[in-house]
Amino acid sequence: MCGIMGYVGPRPAAPVLLEGLRRLEYRGYDSAGIAVERDGSIEVVKAAGKLDRLAELLDGAAPAGSVGIGHTRWATHGRPTDANAHPHCDPTGDFVVVHNGIIENFYDLREELVANGHEFASETDTEVLAHLIGEEYDGDLAAAVRTAVDRAQGAYALVVMSTRDPDKIVAVRMISPLVVGLGDGETFLASDIPAIIEHTREVLIVEDGEMVTITRDGVTLETMAGEAVDRDPLVVEWDVAQAERGGFQHFMLKEIHEQPTALAETLRGRLQVDGKVSLDAIDLPGFAAGLQRIWITACGTAYHAGVAGKEVLETLLRVPVDVVYAHELRYRDPLIQPGDLVIAISQSGETVDTLVAARLAQDKGARLLAITNVVGSTLSREADDVLYTRAGPEIAVASTKAYLTQLCALYLLALRFGSERGVLSSGRVAALAERLLDLPRQAEQALGNAEHVAEVARRISNAQDVYFIGRGLDHAVAMEGSLKLKEISYIHSEAMPAGELKHGTLALIGEGVPVVAIVTQQHVYDKSVSAIQEVRARGAVTVAVAYDDDEEIERYADEVLRIPRTADLLSAPLAAIPLQLLAYYAALEGGHDIDQPRNLAKSVTVE
Ligand code: M6R
Strands 31-38 and 187-190 turn out to be unpaired
How does pLDDT run across 507-550, given as a tens digit for each residue? 999 999 999 999 999 999 999 999 999 999 999 999 999 999 99
Closest ligand 1 atom to Cα of 300 = 12
Question: Cβ(300) to ligand 1 under 6 A?
Answer: yes
How does pLDDT run across 238-256, given as a tens digit for each residue? 777 777 788 899 999 999 9
Question: Cβ(354) to ligand 1 under 6 A?
Answer: yes
Residue closest by Cα to atom 9 of ligand 1: 300
Testing ligand 1's pocket by substitution, the residue of 255, 256, 296, 301 carrying the most ligand atoms inside 8 A of its CB is 301
How does pLDDT run across 395-412, given as a tens digit for each residue? 899 999 999 999 999 999
Phi and psi based region of residue 291 (left: phi greater than 0; alpha: psi -120 to 50; beta: remaining)? beta
Label residue 435 by pLDDT band (50, 70, 90): very high
Question: Cβ(596) to ligand 1 under 6 A?
Answer: no
Question: Cβ(399) to ligand 1 under 6 A?
Answer: yes
Q: Is residue 281 over pLDDT 80? A: no
In the prediction, which pLDDT does 307 show? 98
Question: Cβ(397) to ligand 1 under 6 A?
Answer: yes
Question: Cβ(603) to ligand 1 under 6 A?
Answer: yes
pTM: 0.79
Q: Which residues are catalytic?
A: 2, 602
Question: Cβ(297) to ligand 1 under 6 A?
Answer: no
Long-range contacts of 491-494 (CB under 8 A, 24+ apart): 491/460, 491/461, 491/463, 491/464, 491/465, 491/466, 491/586, 491/590, 492/464, 492/465, 492/466, 493/465, 493/466, 493/467, 493/468, 494/465, 494/467, 494/468
Spatial separation of the C-alpha atoms in residues 88 and 98, rounded to whole Å: 7
Q: Is residue 168 over pLDDT 80? A: yes
In the prediction, which pLDDT does 197 show? 87
Question: Cβ(580) to ligand 1 under 6 A?
Answer: no
Question: Quick one: 566 exposed, middle or buried, by C-beta within 10 A (0-12, 13-18, 19+)?
Answer: buried
The mean pLDDT of the chain is 94
Do the Cβ atoms of 404 and 578 come closer than 8 Å? no
Residue 249 sits at φ, ψ, to 5 deg, of: -70, -30
Residue closest by Cα to atom 7 of ligand 1: 300
In the prediction, which pLDDT does 2 show? 87
In the prediction, which pLDDT does 607 show? 67
In the prediction, which pLDDT does 193 show? 84
**Ligand 1 centroid distance, CA of 603 (Å):** 7
Testing ligand 1's pocket by substitution, the residue of 603, 605, 606, 607 carrying the most ligand atoms inside 8 A of its CB is 603
3-class state of residue 108 by DSSP: helix
**Ligand 1 centroid distance, CA of 104 (Å):** 29
How does pLDDT run across 352-406, given as a tens digit for each residue? 999 999 999 999 999 999 999 987 788 998 999 999 999 988 889 999 999 999 9
Residue closest by Cα to atom 11 of ligand 1: 300
Question: Cβ(398) to ligand 1 under 6 A?
Answer: yes
**Ligand 1 centroid distance, CA of 587 (Å):** 18
**Ligand 1 centroid distance, CA of 90 (Å):** 40
Query: What is the arithmetic mean of pLDDT over 77-100?
Result: 94
Bridge partner residues of 3 (DSSP): 72
**564: CB partners within 8 A, 6+ apart:** 442, 445, 446, 547, 548, 574
Residue closest by Cα to atom 12 of ligand 1: 300
Spatial separation of the C-alpha atoms in residues 41 and 38, rounded to whole Å: 5
**Ligand 1 centroid distance, CA of 52 (Å):** 26
